[in-house]
Structure 1
Amino acid sequence: MTASRISHRDLADTLVRLRAGVSASDLHGSLTGYLCAGGKTTAEAWPSALELDAGYSGELIDDAFPLLFRHCREQLDDSELGFEPLLPGDDVALSERAEALVEWCRGFLGGVGLASGKQSSNELSEDAREIVQDFSTIAASSFDYGDDDEDETALIEVLEFVRVGVLLLHGELAPAPVRAGNGAATSRRLH
């Protein structure tokens, strides 16, 4: 994997500077969903593919966008299943991290929708349909907080569910990459 990655904070700052009108979590979720569902784009063209409606003028000339694309692509294709949603760090309040996960799931579902177009959800396996439904539930959630330790544990569990769910959906929806040299496709099935 590439050593240089964009942090949630750096992406958030870039989006504010560009007046993009989207949060860092939502944008990463959208890009992940688009790529996960087999959307075709490049490191330079993905904002257009995702129909990013930005309030700035001119072309995207920021290094953050190609870097985010490469990082997301590498994580999804990682044979060691190292994918992680791009969310605020543990130094951020629990409520903000939970809201960022909700935004990430909303973005993910939107990205999947853009990539799959008119593909019927009936074409998905039962497991994949259930994951998409669970992501929809998370995306529509509003959290209550009480016990910090219990809430932190719950967020970690939901985050792990999302992480694994993305990998399972990616294995089912995205075409397998072609191995260099022999042209044989690799399997992305995790189960």
Structure 2
Amino acid sequence: MSLINERQDFSTIADLFLLHGSMQSPAFLDGRLCAGLAMHDLTAEAWLEEVCLALGVEQPRDEPSAEHFLGWRRQTLDVLSGSELTFEPLLPDDLFSLAERAQGLKEWTLGFLEVVEDAGSAPRESWSPALREALGDLEGIAAMEVELEESTENEGDLFALAEHVRMAAMLLYTEQHPGLPQVEDTENDTRH
């Protein structure tokens, strides 16, 4: 079975970063990936180049590493464009402390917003008020305090923020790619 078909999760990608000598979290790059797919239809080649640049290497260390990086992009594109609306940002899971998960969410949001801002104001003119508001909310999340104490209340708040980020990413993708995902009734679609 090809590695490109395996489910990519935060720990797998973080371990891959370590293999390349990087201690950075993959959350920031995942945010950039999601926005890049939405705003620029980020190609596999451009994605691999961006990952290598972020890791400070000329190319992935081996073929399996390259397959994992490309699988990460493919998986993200599949869920963003799919009708199931199952997209999830690549974030630290419950094995990490609440503060580490909050930091991951903040980094993801910063990466996502960086690509959106680099696109300039032209694309924003066609965005819905809901998307503009969601992206404005992401700016608040990007500025949040991440030193959270472990508590049920903070856990719930962080979950709600992660859900907000998830919905904003899907909204950006669907507005930039009308008709994808196909969530409306397609029975009345007259295109052939």
TM value normalised by structure 1: 0.80
Deviations 1:18-60 (A, max 9, x none): 24575210111110011122x1233233233689443123457
The 3 A distance-change label for structure 1 pair 59 and 152 is closer
**Are residues 1:73 and 2:77 paired?**
yes
RMSD: 3.0
Distance across 1 between alignment mates of 2:139 and 2:50: 22
Structure 2 residue corresponding to 1:157, chosen from 150, 160, 163: 160
Deviations 1:148-170 (A, max 9, x none): 10011111111111111211121
Distance across 2 between alignment mates of 1:51 and 1:158: 29
Gaps of 5+ in 2: 183-188
Structure 1 residue 175 displacement after superposition:
4.8
Contact 2:98–2:150 (CA under 8 A) maintained in structure 1? no
3-state SS of the aligned residue for 2:88?
Answer: coil
The 3 A distance-change label for structure 1 pair 82 and 66 is same
The 3 A distance-change label for structure 1 pair 22 and 110 is farther
Matching residue of 1:188: none
Deviations 1:125-179 (A, max 9, x none): 2221111111111112113434610011111111111111211121112354599
Q: Which has the higher helix share?
A: 2
Contact 2:5–2:71 (CA under 8 A) maintained in structure 1? no
Distance across 1 between alignment mates of 2:164 and 2:33: 19
The 3 A distance-change label for structure 1 pair 163 and 142 is same
Structure 2 residue corresponding to 1:96, chosen from 82, 95, 100: 100
Distance across 2 between alignment mates of 1:125 and 1:51: 34
Matching residue of 2:49: 48
TM value normalised by structure 2: 0.79
Provide runs of 4+ in structure 1 moved above 6 Å: none
Matching residue of 1:143: 146
